[in-house]
Amino acid sequence: MSVLELARPEIRAMQPYSSARMEASGGQTMLNANESAWAPPGDHSLGCNRYPDPQPHELVDALATLYGVRSAQILVGRGSDEAIDLLVRAFCRAGEDAIAIQPPTFGMYAVCARVQNAAIVEVPLAADFTLDVEAVLAALTPAVKLVFVCTPNNPTGQLVSQGDVERLATALSGRALLVVDEAYLEFADALSMAPLIDRYDNLAVLRTLSKAWALAGARIGSLLAREEVIGLLRRIMAPYPLPRPCVALALEALSSAGQAEARTHLATVREQRASMAAALAALPGVREVLPSQANFLAVRFDDAGEVYRRLLGAGIVVRDVRRYPQLGDALRITIGSTAENARVLTVLQDVFA
Protein backbone atom coordinates (compact mmCIF):
# COMPACT_ATOMS: atom_id res chain seq x y z
CA MET A 1 0.00 0.00 0.00
CA SER A 2 1.37 3.39 -1.01
CA VAL A 3 1.42 6.09 1.66
CA LEU A 4 -0.51 8.25 -0.79
CA GLU A 5 -3.54 6.02 -0.35
CA LEU A 6 -3.88 7.58 3.11
CA ALA A 7 -4.31 11.02 1.55
CA ARG A 8 -7.58 12.56 0.42
CA PRO A 9 -8.52 11.06 -2.96
CA GLU A 10 -9.66 14.43 -4.32
CA ILE A 11 -6.21 15.88 -3.57
CA ARG A 12 -4.51 12.98 -5.32
CA ALA A 13 -6.72 13.50 -8.37
CA MET A 14 -6.65 17.29 -8.58
CA GLN A 15 -4.80 19.25 -11.22
CA PRO A 16 -2.49 21.68 -9.39
CA TYR A 17 -2.26 25.34 -10.27
CA SER A 18 0.47 25.94 -12.81
CA SER A 19 2.24 29.21 -12.12
CA ALA A 20 4.05 31.25 -14.70
CA ARG A 21 7.37 30.51 -13.04
CA MET A 22 6.69 26.76 -13.17
CA GLU A 23 5.79 26.81 -16.86
CA ALA A 24 8.86 28.64 -18.06
CA SER A 25 12.06 29.96 -16.57
CA GLY A 26 15.51 30.88 -17.72
CA GLY A 27 14.44 33.28 -20.44
CA GLN A 28 15.98 36.72 -20.84
CA THR A 29 12.79 38.64 -21.56
CA MET A 30 10.14 37.54 -19.09
CA LEU A 31 6.68 38.61 -20.24
CA ASN A 32 4.57 35.68 -19.03
CA ALA A 33 3.68 36.61 -15.43
CA ASN A 34 2.38 40.20 -15.62
CA GLU A 35 5.28 41.40 -13.46
CA SER A 36 6.76 44.86 -13.36
CA ALA A 37 9.75 45.41 -15.63
CA TRP A 38 11.38 47.61 -12.97
CA ALA A 39 12.95 46.59 -9.68
CA PRO A 40 11.59 48.41 -6.60
CA PRO A 41 13.64 50.91 -4.55
CA GLY A 42 16.06 49.18 -2.21
CA ASP A 43 15.98 45.95 -4.22
CA HIS A 44 19.77 45.45 -3.95
CA SER A 45 19.78 43.20 -7.05
CA LEU A 46 17.37 40.68 -5.50
CA GLY A 47 14.96 41.01 -8.40
CA CYS A 48 11.88 41.39 -6.25
CA ASN A 49 9.88 42.67 -9.21
CA ARG A 50 9.92 39.03 -10.40
CA TYR A 51 8.10 36.15 -8.76
CA PRO A 52 10.48 33.82 -6.89
CA ASP A 53 11.14 30.20 -7.74
CA PRO A 54 8.49 28.15 -5.88
CA GLN A 55 11.24 25.85 -4.56
CA PRO A 56 14.60 27.65 -5.03
CA HIS A 57 17.07 25.00 -6.15
CA GLU A 58 20.07 26.48 -4.34
CA LEU A 59 18.21 26.63 -1.05
CA VAL A 60 16.64 23.20 -1.45
CA ASP A 61 20.03 21.66 -2.20
CA ALA A 62 21.66 23.42 0.78
CA LEU A 63 18.94 22.20 3.14
CA ALA A 64 19.06 18.70 1.70
CA THR A 65 22.79 18.60 2.43
CA LEU A 66 22.25 20.01 5.92
CA TYR A 67 19.55 17.47 6.80
CA GLY A 68 21.07 14.48 5.00
CA VAL A 69 18.28 13.81 2.52
CA ARG A 70 17.88 13.99 -1.26
CA SER A 71 16.67 17.25 -2.76
CA ALA A 72 13.52 15.51 -4.00
CA GLN A 73 12.71 14.60 -0.37
CA ILE A 74 12.41 18.18 0.87
CA LEU A 75 9.67 20.78 0.67
CA VAL A 76 10.55 24.31 1.79
CA GLY A 77 7.86 26.69 2.99
CA ARG A 78 6.93 29.49 5.36
CA GLY A 79 8.13 27.93 8.59
CA SER A 80 7.19 24.42 9.66
CA ASP A 81 3.70 25.80 10.42
CA GLU A 82 2.93 25.79 6.70
CA ALA A 83 4.02 22.17 6.37
CA ILE A 84 1.76 21.18 9.27
CA ASP A 85 -1.19 22.90 7.64
CA LEU A 86 -0.46 21.31 4.25
CA LEU A 87 -0.26 17.84 5.80
CA VAL A 88 -3.58 18.22 7.58
CA ARG A 89 -5.30 19.56 4.47
CA ALA A 90 -3.87 16.82 2.26
CA PHE A 91 -4.55 13.84 4.53
CA CYS A 92 -7.65 14.75 6.56
CA ARG A 93 -11.15 14.95 5.09
CA ALA A 94 -13.21 17.56 6.90
CA GLY A 95 -15.60 16.02 9.37
CA GLU A 96 -14.27 12.50 8.80
CA ASP A 97 -10.56 12.10 9.55
CA ALA A 98 -8.43 12.89 12.59
CA ILE A 99 -4.94 13.60 13.88
CA ALA A 100 -3.31 12.26 17.06
CA ILE A 101 -1.19 14.35 19.43
CA GLN A 102 0.38 13.91 22.87
CA PRO A 103 -0.33 16.95 25.07
CA PRO A 104 1.23 19.01 26.40
CA THR A 105 2.74 19.75 23.00
CA PHE A 106 2.99 22.36 20.24
CA GLY A 107 -0.41 23.96 19.74
CA MET A 108 -0.38 24.36 15.95
CA TYR A 109 -1.11 20.69 15.31
CA ALA A 110 -4.52 21.07 16.94
CA VAL A 111 -5.14 24.51 15.42
CA CYS A 112 -4.58 23.22 11.88
CA ALA A 113 -6.82 20.23 12.57
CA ARG A 114 -9.64 22.45 13.83
CA VAL A 115 -9.37 24.73 10.80
CA GLN A 116 -9.78 21.63 8.61
CA ASN A 117 -12.61 20.32 10.84
CA ALA A 118 -10.55 17.20 11.58
CA ALA A 119 -10.96 15.47 14.92
CA ILE A 120 -8.14 15.40 17.49
CA VAL A 121 -7.22 12.26 19.42
CA GLU A 122 -5.26 13.25 22.51
CA VAL A 123 -2.97 10.77 24.28
CA PRO A 124 -1.36 12.64 27.20
CA LEU A 125 2.33 12.23 27.87
CA ALA A 126 3.29 10.23 30.94
CA ALA A 127 3.79 11.96 34.30
CA ASP A 128 7.49 12.46 33.45
CA PHE A 129 6.51 13.82 30.02
CA THR A 130 7.80 10.80 28.12
CA LEU A 131 5.92 9.29 25.18
CA ASP A 132 3.88 6.14 25.86
CA VAL A 133 3.96 4.30 22.54
CA GLU A 134 1.51 1.61 23.61
CA ALA A 135 -0.98 4.21 24.84
CA VAL A 136 -0.76 6.06 21.53
CA LEU A 137 -1.35 2.93 19.50
CA ALA A 138 -4.21 1.82 21.74
CA ALA A 139 -5.99 5.15 21.32
CA LEU A 140 -5.84 5.31 17.53
CA THR A 141 -8.97 4.88 15.46
CA PRO A 142 -9.23 4.19 11.71
CA ALA A 143 -10.01 7.90 11.27
CA VAL A 144 -6.51 8.96 12.39
CA LYS A 145 -4.41 9.80 9.33
CA LEU A 146 -1.61 11.82 10.97
CA VAL A 147 0.26 11.19 14.23
CA PHE A 148 2.39 14.15 15.38
CA VAL A 149 5.37 13.56 17.67
CA CYS A 150 7.47 16.51 18.86
CA THR A 151 11.09 15.82 19.85
CA PRO A 152 12.45 17.69 21.74
CA ASN A 153 8.93 18.39 22.86
CA ASN A 154 7.59 21.92 23.13
CA PRO A 155 6.94 23.08 25.87
CA THR A 156 8.56 20.41 28.07
CA GLY A 157 11.89 19.78 26.33
CA GLN A 158 12.17 15.98 26.49
CA LEU A 159 13.28 13.70 23.64
CA VAL A 160 11.57 10.77 21.97
CA SER A 161 13.97 7.91 21.27
CA GLN A 162 14.64 6.54 17.81
CA GLY A 163 13.40 3.17 19.04
CA ASP A 164 10.02 4.65 19.92
CA VAL A 165 9.79 6.44 16.58
CA GLU A 166 10.54 3.22 14.72
CA ARG A 167 7.97 1.29 16.77
CA LEU A 168 5.37 3.87 15.87
CA ALA A 169 6.33 3.98 12.20
CA THR A 170 6.17 0.20 11.95
CA ALA A 171 2.81 -0.06 13.72
CA LEU A 172 1.33 2.80 11.67
CA SER A 173 2.37 1.42 8.29
CA GLY A 174 -0.64 1.47 6.01
CA ARG A 175 -2.67 3.26 8.69
CA ALA A 176 -1.27 6.75 9.24
CA LEU A 177 1.59 9.11 8.45
CA LEU A 178 3.95 9.67 11.40
CA VAL A 179 5.16 13.29 11.53
CA VAL A 180 8.21 13.91 13.74
CA ASP A 181 8.70 17.57 14.59
CA GLU A 182 12.41 18.33 15.14
CA ALA A 183 12.19 22.11 15.43
CA TYR A 184 14.59 22.10 18.42
CA LEU A 185 16.83 19.19 17.48
CA GLU A 186 19.96 21.29 17.00
CA PHE A 187 19.99 22.00 20.73
CA ALA A 188 19.74 18.31 21.69
CA ASP A 189 22.14 15.45 22.18
CA ALA A 190 20.34 13.32 19.61
CA LEU A 191 20.31 12.39 15.94
CA SER A 192 17.63 13.29 13.43
CA MET A 193 15.04 10.76 12.31
CA ALA A 194 15.51 11.94 8.71
CA PRO A 195 17.66 8.91 7.68
CA LEU A 196 14.67 6.68 8.51
CA ILE A 197 12.62 8.17 5.67
CA ASP A 198 14.12 5.70 3.19
CA ARG A 199 13.13 2.83 5.49
CA TYR A 200 9.58 3.96 6.34
CA ASP A 201 7.42 5.49 3.62
CA ASN A 202 4.94 6.72 6.26
CA LEU A 203 7.49 8.87 8.11
CA ALA A 204 7.89 12.63 7.67
CA VAL A 205 10.17 15.03 9.57
CA LEU A 206 9.68 18.74 10.23
CA ARG A 207 12.68 21.07 10.48
CA THR A 208 13.02 24.84 10.72
CA LEU A 209 15.57 27.64 10.46
CA SER A 210 13.63 29.71 13.02
CA LYS A 211 15.38 28.51 16.17
CA ALA A 212 19.02 27.44 15.97
CA TRP A 213 19.60 29.33 12.73
CA ALA A 214 18.20 32.64 14.05
CA LEU A 215 15.76 33.14 11.16
CA ALA A 216 12.40 33.29 12.95
CA GLY A 217 11.60 36.49 11.07
CA ALA A 218 12.39 34.99 7.67
CA ARG A 219 9.95 32.06 8.04
CA ILE A 220 11.85 29.17 6.44
CA GLY A 221 10.80 25.66 7.38
CA SER A 222 11.11 22.26 5.76
CA LEU A 223 9.27 18.98 5.48
CA LEU A 224 11.40 15.90 4.83
CA ALA A 225 9.51 12.95 3.40
CA ARG A 226 9.28 10.47 0.54
CA GLU A 227 9.21 12.03 -2.92
CA GLU A 228 5.56 11.10 -3.46
CA VAL A 229 4.50 12.93 -0.29
CA ILE A 230 6.47 16.02 -1.30
CA GLY A 231 4.85 15.94 -4.72
CA LEU A 232 1.40 15.65 -3.21
CA LEU A 233 1.86 18.68 -0.96
CA ARG A 234 3.26 20.77 -3.79
CA ARG A 235 -0.14 20.37 -5.48
CA ILE A 236 -1.85 22.40 -2.77
CA MET A 237 0.96 24.73 -1.72
CA ALA A 238 0.78 28.44 -2.53
CA PRO A 239 2.39 29.16 -5.91
CA TYR A 240 5.15 31.42 -4.58
CA PRO A 241 5.67 30.66 -0.87
CA LEU A 242 9.23 31.91 -0.40
CA PRO A 243 10.06 35.64 -0.71
CA ARG A 244 13.39 36.38 -2.37
CA PRO A 245 14.83 38.32 0.62
CA CYS A 246 14.06 35.39 2.93
CA VAL A 247 15.77 32.95 0.60
CA ALA A 248 18.83 35.21 0.45
CA LEU A 249 18.99 35.37 4.25
CA ALA A 250 18.66 31.59 4.52
CA LEU A 251 21.48 30.99 2.05
CA GLU A 252 23.72 33.39 3.97
CA ALA A 253 22.90 31.59 7.22
CA LEU A 254 23.74 28.24 5.63
CA SER A 255 27.07 29.42 4.22
CA SER A 256 30.28 28.20 5.84
CA ALA A 257 30.61 31.42 7.84
CA GLY A 258 26.95 31.30 8.82
CA GLN A 259 27.18 27.72 10.02
CA ALA A 260 30.26 28.51 12.08
CA GLU A 261 28.45 31.38 13.77
CA ALA A 262 25.42 29.17 14.45
CA ARG A 263 27.62 26.52 16.06
CA THR A 264 29.09 29.16 18.38
CA HIS A 265 25.62 30.30 19.43
CA LEU A 266 24.46 26.70 19.93
CA ALA A 267 27.38 26.04 22.27
CA THR A 268 26.46 29.14 24.27
CA VAL A 269 22.82 28.07 24.54
CA ARG A 270 23.78 24.60 25.76
CA GLU A 271 26.14 26.02 28.38
CA GLN A 272 23.64 28.61 29.51
CA ARG A 273 20.83 26.04 29.62
CA ALA A 274 22.80 23.95 32.10
CA SER A 275 23.79 26.90 34.27
CA MET A 276 20.28 28.39 34.22
CA ALA A 277 18.73 25.04 35.15
CA ALA A 278 21.04 24.76 38.17
CA ALA A 279 20.53 28.37 39.26
CA LEU A 280 16.75 28.19 38.91
CA ALA A 281 16.53 24.90 40.79
CA ALA A 282 18.32 26.53 43.75
CA LEU A 283 15.74 29.32 44.13
CA PRO A 284 13.33 28.88 47.08
CA GLY A 285 10.14 29.49 45.06
CA VAL A 286 10.99 26.96 42.35
CA ARG A 287 9.40 23.53 42.66
CA GLU A 288 11.08 21.88 39.68
CA VAL A 289 13.06 22.61 36.54
CA LEU A 290 12.10 20.07 33.89
CA PRO A 291 15.07 18.51 32.09
CA SER A 292 15.31 20.00 28.61
CA GLN A 293 17.08 19.25 25.35
CA ALA A 294 15.74 22.40 23.70
CA ASN A 295 16.59 26.11 23.97
CA PHE A 296 14.15 26.66 26.83
CA LEU A 297 13.36 25.46 30.33
CA ALA A 298 9.91 24.67 31.69
CA VAL A 299 9.95 25.70 35.35
CA ARG A 300 7.38 24.90 38.06
CA PHE A 301 6.86 27.66 40.65
CA ASP A 302 5.00 27.89 43.94
CA ASP A 303 3.18 30.89 42.47
CA ALA A 304 3.72 30.96 38.71
CA GLY A 305 1.20 33.75 38.22
CA GLU A 306 3.01 36.11 40.56
CA VAL A 307 6.38 35.23 39.04
CA TYR A 308 5.02 35.94 35.56
CA ARG A 309 3.67 39.33 36.67
CA ARG A 310 6.91 40.30 38.41
CA LEU A 311 9.02 39.33 35.40
CA LEU A 312 6.71 41.23 33.08
CA GLY A 313 6.88 44.24 35.38
CA ALA A 314 10.66 44.12 34.99
CA GLY A 315 10.32 44.06 31.21
CA ILE A 316 10.97 40.33 30.83
CA VAL A 317 8.45 38.31 28.81
CA VAL A 318 8.36 34.55 29.34
CA ARG A 319 5.76 32.03 28.14
CA ASP A 320 2.86 31.31 30.47
CA VAL A 321 2.14 27.61 29.88
CA ARG A 322 -0.24 27.09 32.80
CA ARG A 323 -3.08 26.32 30.37
CA TYR A 324 -1.28 23.18 29.16
CA PRO A 325 -2.14 19.79 30.72
CA GLN A 326 0.13 18.87 33.64
CA LEU A 327 1.76 22.32 33.60
CA GLY A 328 -0.64 24.33 35.73
CA ASP A 329 2.22 25.75 37.82
CA ALA A 330 4.79 26.31 35.07
CA LEU A 331 6.38 29.00 32.94
CA ARG A 332 8.59 28.38 29.91
CA ILE A 333 11.76 30.47 29.84
CA THR A 334 13.75 30.73 26.62
CA ILE A 335 17.54 30.65 26.97
CA GLY A 336 18.63 34.11 25.87
CA SER A 337 21.97 35.86 25.87
CA THR A 338 24.20 35.59 28.93
CA ALA A 339 23.14 39.07 30.01
CA GLU A 340 19.43 38.32 29.51
CA ASN A 341 19.67 35.11 31.52
CA ALA A 342 21.48 36.91 34.35
CA ARG A 343 18.73 39.54 34.38
CA VAL A 344 16.06 36.83 34.78
CA LEU A 345 17.90 35.35 37.74
CA THR A 346 18.36 38.76 39.36
CA VAL A 347 14.65 39.52 39.13
CA LEU A 348 13.68 36.09 40.44
CA GLN A 349 16.08 36.43 43.37
CA ASP A 350 14.32 39.69 44.25
CA VAL A 351 10.90 38.02 43.92
CA PHE A 352 11.83 35.24 46.33
CA ALA A 353 13.90 37.36 48.71
What was the pLDDT predicted at 29?
A: 86
**Is position 40 within any domain?**
no
Examine the domain organization and report whether 207 and 67 are in the same domain.
yes
Instruction: Look at residue 172 and tell me if it is in a domain.
Output: yes
User: Is residue 28 included in any domain, yes or no?
Assistant: no
Same domain, 181 and 98: yes
Residue 45 within a domain: no
Q: Please tell me the pTM assigned to this model.
A: 0.96
Residues in Cβ contact with 247 at an 8 Å cutoff, skipping those fewer than 6 apart: 52, 56, 59, 220
| Judgement on whether residues 235 and 263 belong to the same structural domain of the protein | no
For position 264, what pLDDT does the model report?
98
CATH of the domain at 80: 3.40.640.10
Same domain, 249 and 269: no
Per-residue pLDDT of the chain (353 residues; tens, 9 = 90+): 789 999 999 999 998 888 877 776 667 788 888 999 999 999 999 999 999 999 999 999 999 999 999 999 999 999 999 999 999 999 999 999 999 999 999 999 999 999 999 999 999 999 999 999 999 999 999 999 999 999 999 999 999 999 999 999 999 999 999 999 999 999 999 999 999 999 999 999 999 999 999 999 999 999 999 999 999 999 999 999 999 999 999 999 999 999 999 999 999 999 999 999 999 999 999 999 999 999 999 999 999 999 999 999 999 999 999 999 999 999 999 999 999 999 999 999 999 98
Final residue of a structural domain among 209, 237, 254: 254
Q: Which of 254, 287, 302 is the last residue of a domain?
A: 254
Which of 224, 254, 284 is at the close of a domain? 254
Statement to judge: residues 333 and 248 lie in one domain: no
Whether 299 and 204 share a structural domain: no
The verdict on residue 325 lying in a domain is yes
Give how far Cα 99 sits from Cα of 8, 109, 113, 119, 335, Å: 14, 8, 7, 6, 31
Q: Which domain holds residue 79?
A: 3-19+54-254
302 falls within a domain:
yes
Check which CATH number belongs to the domain holding 298 and give it. 3.90.1150.10
Query: Three-class SS string for the chain?
Result: CCHHHHCCHHHHHCCCCCCHHHHCCCCCCCCCCCCCCCCCCCCCCCCCCCCCCCCCHHHHHHHHHHHCCCHHHEEEECHHHHHHHHHHHHHCCCCCCEEEECCCCCCHHHHHHHHCCCEEEECCCCCCCCCCHHHHHHHCCCCEEEEEEECCCCCCCCCCCHHHHHHHHHHHCCCCEEEEECCCHHHCCCCCCHHHHHCCCCEEEEEECCCCCCCCCCCCEEEECCHHHHHHHHHHCCCCCCCHHHHHHHHHHCCHHHHHHHHHHHHHHHHHHHHHHHHHHCCCCEEEECCCCCCEEEEEECCHHHHHHHHHHCCCCCEECCCCCCCCCEEEEECCCHHHHHHHHHHHHHHHC
Q: Are residues 265 and 248 in the same domain?
A: no
Question: Quick check: is 44 in a domain?
Answer: no
Q: What is the domain count for the chain?
A: 2
Same domain, 279 and 236: no
My answer on whether 102 and 209 are in the same domain is yes
72 Cβ contact partners less than 8 Å away, ≥ 6 residues apart? 227, 230
Domain-located, residue 42: no
Quick one: 209 and 299 in the same domain? no
The answer to whether residues 203 and 346 belong to one domain is: no
Rg of the chain over CA atoms, in angstroms? 22
Kindly state whether residues 267 and 235 are assigned to the same domain.
no
pLDDT the model gives residue 25: 62
